Structure 1
Amino acid sequence: MPRSALKKVTHSKRKLSRPRRPSRTKLGVAVLAFLLGLILFSKIGGLFGSGEDISFKNYIWNGNSTLNLVVKSDNIYVASYNPQDSSFTILKVPDETYASVPLGFGRWPMRSVYDLGQAEKPLIGARLLKDTTGMLFGVPVDGYILTSGNFGTMAENARKNPFSIIGAIRESKTDLNIVESIRFWWGVKGVRFDRFKSADLENSDLTSWALLPDGSRGLELDGLRLDQFIQSRFEDSKLKDEGLGIGILNATDHPGLAEKAARVVTNIGGRVILTGNLEERQHNSFVLGKDGYTQTRLSQVFAPACIQTSWPLGLFRSGGCFLQSDSFNFSRAEVTIVLGEDYFLRYNSTKGN
């Protein structure tokens, strides 16, 4: 066959070749844009449930740090999404689990906590559920989701079908904004099955039935085993990898704050090297020291009012508050948490600060 004829045949074959498929990245961006458009349209149309109670969420999640949520659906769940290693953990909390409820409510089963807060004015059900859960498990609870149905099933559906994210967001009340919600659910969608973990406390050795003072029975948690379990499931890998020495100082007249904060920091992978008291009393809490992920994450947990953010991207920096002390010593700890009166009031006043 002449070369000219061969070139014509080759050229015709090229014309008949299949067009290239769009890349996964482009497809993902298109789906994400579509989801955002639908959700924003739904919000404008009033199809979203509005958060009607107070939860005191003072910072915007930028998608880089671990996000811990308490979920009230068919049961109470604690969910943790870690974008650093693309992992997701769901912990089912039995309704009969007894917990100390802040703001002077005493001890109640977890099923009653939200309703206790909703009976108050202003409504504080979500805030009470967040703070109770954080105190019980010794982890920072960054936000809440209120929804019907089974949350575990919702998360599984998000992994298998990204369009189910629309329904998950529309049918939920949360203190996450639209961008945060999409970041969260889109992150869950990308979690591999082997990084998707779930546990039911009722079927574990962490709980045991106990006779309560009123003669009823309730589930009690083993504190030591619980912390070991939490550290294995809720560890912030980036915080642990930085490995900075963390100091915690109580700058109030309320004893025990530093030790309670140390439990939280340790449970999420922080390396606490000292706890103590600061002579000068402070109203605002601070996280001071070396810039980086550790300082930012601990600021979110202990001093969110000092984080300056820009909506909606969640770009932020620490430094909105300043320490009023002449005797503070940075020498031992690379990052220092100073707990002020606002931290105490968060768990002891309906005004929150």
Structure 2
Amino acid sequence: MPAQRRVKKVLRLQKARPKFKVLIYLIILIGLTFGTIIFFNRAFWNGKDKLTIVSRDLEDNVVITTYDPQVGEIISITVPSQTEVEVAKNFGVWKIGSVWQLGYQEKEKGALLAKTVTRHLKFPSFVWADRQSLGFNSSGISGLFKATFSKYDSNLKLGDKIGLALFSLGVENSKRADLKLEETGYLKKTTLSDGSKGYRVEGSIPQRIAILFTNTKMSNGTYRIVIKDRTGRPGLTEELNLVLEVLGGKVLSITREDEADFNCEIRSDDKEVGDLIRNLFNCRVAPVDPGGNFDMEIVLGKKFADEF
């Protein structure tokens, strides 16, 4: 190769190297930016524990999706909009397809639907998002992009959305499932209060559905719970007990005490489990361990009857 041509080639390589370095630095910067967003701007998704999100589809059916990093699964349960439920916070009996709008009328937004799913269906949930979030359930780039970056109401933060999108990208199609609740035996078709045809809950949650909502720490071994009832309202502790059992807890003691004017307080020997119960029921966390041989102590006040 003539000397002149070798010189030109060397010059071209020298010019290309700075551009290549800039590209590498740009990729690293983007990666660090996304990592920072995911780590600092998130509320619920930590990439290791399952997360349940309550949403709705275009027909106002309620879609309850569990994202489980431990087994790499995304499982959705669709509840028909014509399912009659007792709405949380003492709002009476409604069809579940109307609860999203009711939440906005009562300034509760989607939180009212999540609370109703917890109270009536016994599916523990506190994260809610509008129908655009259903894009997290698919492996399509377009749906994931909309679920992550489009504007819609939710209590998810951007870091949660980015983390969910990255998780969804790695889930195989064989690990995705869409279940219809009316086909599980948990709903019965019947005539509703307004005379229309629809569904009502019948019996207890099928085991194959309940297992989707268990908490790993609570379901490993016996997670012992004591409830101190200071609500002055009968029946609430029994309803709460059913939700705690789905999570994997075991209520070993319920005591009735004098009424007290607060919502609820929890004492837990595990911070993550304590945070879970706090998010579900808006309880305050006491900075002390539970008494006796219990793993968690839950004290219910009068305001719990208005929140549950």
2:298 counterpart of 1:337: yes
Farther off after superposition, 60-69 or 75-84: 60-69
Amino acid at match of 1:136: H
**Would the alpha carbon gap of residues 77 and 253 (structure 1) be closer, same or farther in structure 2, given more than 3 Å must change?**
same
Distance 2:186 2:248 in 1: 20
How much does 1:250 deviate? 1.4
Deviations 1:268-319 (A, max 9, x none): 222222223234636242221423543343333234544xxxxxxxxxxx63
Contact 2:124 2:213 in 1 (8 A): no
Deviation of the 1:202 alpha carbon: 3.0
Q: Secondary structure at the match of 2:66?
A: strand
Partner of 1:187: 167
Correspondent of 2:99 among 110, 113, 118: 113
Over 3 Å counting, the alpha-carbon distance change for 1:334 and 1:154 in structure 2 is: closer
TM-score, structure 2 normalization: 0.75
| Separation (CA, whole Å) in 1 of partners of 2:252 and 2:175 | 31
The yes-or-no answer on 1:79 pairing with 2:65 is yes
Q: Is the 8 A contact 1:79 1:88 kept in 2?
A: yes
Q: Does 1:300 align with 2:279?
A: yes
Corresponding residue SS for 2:234: coil
Amino acid at match of 1:132: T
Distance 2:303 2:50 in 1: 24
Aligned with residue 44 of structure 2, among 32, 57, 61: 61
Contact 1:71 1:145 in 2 (8 A): yes
For the residues of structure 1 that align with 2:67 and 2:176, how far apart are their CA atoms?
10
Tell me which of 124, 131, 156 is aligned to 2:138.
156
Q: In structure 1, the residue corresponding to 2:241 is in which secondary structure?
A: helix
Larger mean CA deviation between 99-108 and 257-266 belongs to 99-108
Q: Give the aligned partner of residue 126 of structure 1.
A: 110
Of residues 110, 131, 152, the one that matches 1:147 is 131
Cα deviation, 1:228-277, whole Å, max 9, x if unaligned, reads 34323222223212532122221222222221111111112222222232
Equivalent of 2:120 in 109, 124, 136:
136
Contact preservation (8 Å) 2:261, 2:301:
yes
CA distance 1:146–1:289, shift in 2 (3 Å)? closer
Shift of 1:156: 1.7
Local SS of the residue matching 2:220: helix
Shift, 1:95, TM fit: 1.1
Task: Check the 8 A contact 2:223/2:248 in 1, yes or no.
Answer: no
**Contact 1:84-1:238 within 8 A present in 2 as well:** no
Q: Is the 8 A contact 1:210 1:218 kept in 2?
A: yes
**Aligned equivalents of 1:88, 1:31: Cα separation in 2:** 27
Which amino acid is the alignment partner of residue 302 of structure 2? Answer: E
8 A contact 1:96–1:111 mirrored in 2: yes
Give 1:101 shift: 1.5
Deviation string 1:190-246 (CA, Å, 9 cap, x unpaired) is 33444333201233332222123432211112132x253432322222321253212
- Other structure's SS at 1:77 match: strand
Q: Say how many residue pairs are matched.
A: 277
Does residue 1:98 correspond to 2:84, yes or no? yes
Structure 2: runs of 5 or more not aligned: 1-26
Cα distance between partner residues in 1 of 2:30 and 2:255: 51
**What's 2:24 paired with?**
none
One-letter code of the match for 2:182? E
**Which residue in the other structure is 2:218 paired with?**
239
Q: Any unmatched runs of 5+ in structure 1?
A: 1-27, 40-58, 307-317, 324-328, 348-353
2:227–2:255 CA contact under 8 A, matched in 1: yes
Q: CA deviation at 1:155?
A: 1.4
Is the Cα contact below 8 Å between 1:91 and 1:200 reproduced in 2? yes
Cα gap change, 1:112/1:292 in structure 2, threshold over 3 Å: closer, same or farther?
A: closer
| Pair 1:95–1:131, CA change in 2 (3 A) | same
User: Cα deviation per residue 1:136-193 (whole Å; 9 max; x = unaligned)?
Assistant: 2213212111125x92x65122xx54x7533212333211111122223323333344
Give matches, 1:38-53, under 5 Å.
none
CA 1:208/1:62 → structure 2, altered by over 3 Å: closer, same or farther? closer
In 2, the alpha carbon distance for the partners of 1:303 and 1:116 equals 20
Partner of 2:251, secondary structure, is strand
Matched, 1:200 2:180: yes
TM-score by length of 1: 0.67
Give the structure 2 partner of residue 44 of structure 1.
Answer: none
Change (3 A) 1:236 1:286: same
Normalized per residue, the structure richer in helix is 2
CA offset digits 1:107-151 (Å, max 9, x no partner):
22111112223334xx33412212222212213212111125x92
* Partners of 2:127 and 2:302 in 1: CA distance: 22
- Note the C-alpha offset of 1:35: 6.0
Residue 54 of structure 1 is matched in structure 2 by: none
- In the alignment, structure 1 residue 264 sits paired with structure 2 residue 251: no
Whole-angstrom distance in 1 between the partners of 2:82 and 2:119: 17
